[in-house]
Structure 1
Amino acid sequence: MKGRIGAAALAFLLASSVASAAPPAERDWSEALARDAQALHDDLAANHPGAVNSLDPGFNANNDRQLKLALERAKSARSYADYFFPLRIYVSSFDDGHLGFGALGNTPNDLRWPGFATRYDGRGRIVVGTSEPESPVPQGAELLSCDGMSASRYAEATLGTMWGRWSLEAQQQRMGAFLFIDESSNLIPKAKECTFAIAGQRKSIPLSWQPLALDRVGPLLNSLQGRRSRDFGERTLPGGIRWLAMPSFDGDPASAAAKALPGMIARARSDRAAMLAAPAIVLDLRGNGGGSSDWSRQLAVALWGEGAEDSLPPGPTVEVDWRASPANLAEIANGYAERRGSEGFSAPVDNWYRSVIAGLGVAVARKQALWRHVDFDASGPSAASSEGKRPTAPALARPVRPIYVLTDSSCASACLDALDRWTALGAIQIGRPTSADTLYMEIRDRTLPSRLTSISVPMKVYRGRKRGSNQPAMPVHRFDGDISDTAALETWVTSLAAARR
């Protein structure tokens, strides 16, 4: 039931790092990189479904190629950065948001910038979003090229290499702010001269890279990305639109989601008639990076009724292949022990855990590489074991007024599952394109031998899921303004609902 993105993006690591925190103690960085790279390789080989997935023939070849490259780089590793960045590039090469890598302490924070930073403007352009007063590149300038590479090619060679999945608009939106915040890795290019469109003129400007204090990074990112903290909440707009904000589907019993969502879902169930009489309902998923898919199932039952999904036209059979390994079995068993009996832990989730533990246990004992689990619902655990049929219930009256699902570039994993589920029932996606995931899901975390970094490794692969690998969900109605501007969004959504009447 874990569907979160594995390692936190650098944006969040930097924003939360303590500037005065000490870097890791010096050690034999060559040995540390070689040892951790080998451990990463071996964990993927032993526990990732891609290693035994006949439909992903390039997985093992890439795993071997990246290990060879990391071991070669280990020969000259002399610093924490020399250790850290080869491992990040190793993981990013798989272009999989669920295969994660991150520091357990500080990242290598030797940051530099040329006095300005950029962002993607939502229309495919890279523009200067903030600039020092003395910088020759003003705010609003459009980046055209750097060192003979087009702006898009330079971004791909730098951020695409470091973070992967650069074909996704959501990834560009989230990470574009780092194009000119250099981490001082010697594995990617650092521009010497860039050309900009400034006041209708093309100007080539040499770049002078200067140290950037860590305590400045958080405010810079907030201004460039429009990042704002988001809270769970329910409110009614003037005119009657009901707005439910759900910035996370975290399944951890101690999380804010686990504290807020049970009450929100219960109120949606008890107040269903009044909610469906509203001009529209907005399910606000901005900032939601995933968690447990069962939250979206429970809300679907509250709004559409217990039998609503059963009444949908039958789609393709969706199944799941789990990598049958002792480590994956232990992960699921530990997760069940931690969550069982907590608030919001539904009977279908309990059944799902028991079904997976039993099936994986048999497969591990038989030394099978994969265990096939018929997953009646691609967006979450089935309501019955793979040996039975899902119980049905009469559907309630369907909503006749729009239910909008508001998304941004953060939406991934269980957030995408929610979107799949709710739009199948008739909800309308609005806002910005989502992030995307591969068919590999359900992560297990592991600390690498150095104890400086950790990885997140998927344990299962979907078969027959309608949404393809790394395929984002595109809004029916796109909002090209500042997606963090709730007041502007409320006005926009009100106009959308009015246009439908």
Structure 2
Amino acid sequence: MTARLLAAALALGLMTTPATAQETPAAADTAPRDWSQTLRQDATGLHAIIVDSHPGIHDTRNPEFRAKVDAGLALALQRAETTTDTGGWWWAMRAFVAGFDDGHMQIGMKDQSGFPTRWPGFLTVYRGADQVVANRDDADANAPPLGAKLIDCDGVPADRLAADRIGAFRGRWFLESQHVQFGDWLFMNASNPWISEMRACRFQSDGQTKTWTLNWR
């Protein structure tokens, strides 16, 4: 099976039932389902497909691939122990796939609008290597100004924040195109229980650095 066919199998096979549930966003969060067991089944199924069909398993120039596959499954199964909702299932599966850094391996849902999403009143995007405020709630006096450059949050540097909170769930974070496409997710939490909401961040603006306490809603 080619990598493209593998991606199709994931999109149309393993993910069919949960993805269909997302077609009705209002029902996605309330429909009764054992999401812990769903994650176990989907992660185990994905692992089996990769071991059976992915060329990386047989690539002698990539001897670490099998260990990466097994580690991805182990993390997903660990997360299944505490998964209680759609968000836990979805982001755990996204992280599993993202861990391969393979653009041919993708999973998706027809509609992700059913995920409640929180933000602290502003969003950042990449401008070159910097992450700067590009959108803010004008009514929120406690949001950093437009153009302010992110330094760190809770003591974690900006580049590491993005890698851990976006790249780990999107993959191929070494590509600038990924930064451009998904960089504005740093200050959005779409029901992802595997990341915590940052409490305080430092931004640089007009030559001064200031700490801002975040008000998530």
- Where on the TM-score scale, by shorter chain, does this alignment land: which range? 0.7 to 0.9
**CA contact 2:102–2:172 (8 Å) conserved in 1:** yes
Structure 2 residue aligned with 1:102:
108
Structure 2 residue aligned with 1:131:
136
AA aligned to 1:79 is D
SS at structure 2 position matched to 1:40: helix
Structure 2 residue aligned with 1:465:
none
Structure 1 residue aligned with 2:197:
190
Structure 1 residue aligned with 2:61:
55
Structure 1 residue aligned with 2:14:
none
**CA contact 1:81–1:108 (8 Å) conserved in 2:** no
Gaps of at least 5 residues in structure 2 are 12-21
- Report how far residue 20 of structure 1 moved: 5.5
SS at structure 1 position matched to 2:63: coil
Cα distance change on mapping 1:30 and 1:19 into 2, 3 Å: closer
- Report how far residue 37 of structure 1 moved: 0.6
**CA contact 1:84–1:108 (8 Å) conserved in 2:** no
Q: Would you say 1:112 and 2:118 are equivalent positions?
A: yes
SS at structure 2 position matched to 1:46: helix
**CA contact 1:157–1:189 (8 Å) conserved in 2:** no
**CA contact 2:120–2:187 (8 Å) conserved in 1:** yes
Q: Distance in 2 between matches of 1:149 and 1:119?
A: 17
Structure 1 residue aligned with 2:45:
39
Q: Would you say 1:154 and 2:161 are equivalent positions?
A: yes
- Report how far residue 119 of structure 1 moved: 0.7
**CA contact 1:146–1:191 (8 Å) conserved in 2:** yes
AA aligned to 1:199 is D
Gaps of at least 5 residues in structure 1 are 9-16, 211-501
**CA contact 2:3–2:105 (8 Å) conserved in 1:** no
Per-residue Cα deviation, 1:77-110 (whole angstroms, up to 9, x for no partner): 2111121111110000111111111124436512
AA aligned to 1:30 is S
Larger radius of gyration: 1
Per-residue Cα deviation, 1:16-59 (whole angstroms, up to 9, x for no partner): x9895531622111111111111000000111111111111111
Structure 2 residue aligned with 1:86:
92
Cα distance change on mapping 1:200 and 1:208 into 2, 3 Å: same
After the TM superposition, which residues 308-347 of structure 1 pair with which residues of structure 2 at under 5 Å, given as runs?
Answer: none
After the TM superposition, which residues 281-360 of structure 1 pair with which residues of structure 2 at under 5 Å, given as runs?
Answer: none
Cα distance change on mapping 1:119 and 1:105 into 2, 3 Å: closer
Q: Distance in 2 between matches of 1:133 and 1:145?
A: 22
Q: Distance in 2 between matches of 1:149 and 1:99?
A: 30
Per-residue Cα deviation, 1:265-294 (whole angstroms, up to 9, x for no partner): xxxxxxxxxxxxxxxxxxxxxxxxxxxxxx
Structure 1 residue aligned with 2:19:
none
Structure 1 residue aligned with 2:72:
66
- Report how far residue 66 of structure 1 moved: 1.2
Count of equivalent residues: 200
Q: Distance in 2 between matches of 1:39 and 1:132?
A: 43
Alignment partner of 1:209 out of 203, 209, 216? 216
- Report how far residue 188 of structure 1 moved: 2.1
Alignment partner of 2:174 out of 155, 163, 167? 167
Q: Would you say 1:27 and 2:28 are equivalent positions?
A: no
Cα distance change on mapping 1:140 and 1:18 into 2, 3 Å: farther
Q: Which runs of 4+ in 1 moved over 6 A?
A: 1-4
- Report how far residue 143 of structure 1 moved: 0.8
Per-residue Cα deviation, 1:116-156 (whole angstroms, up to 9, x for no partner): 111111x2111111111133311111111111011111111
Q: With the length of structure 1 as denominator, give the TM-score of the two structures.
A: 0.38
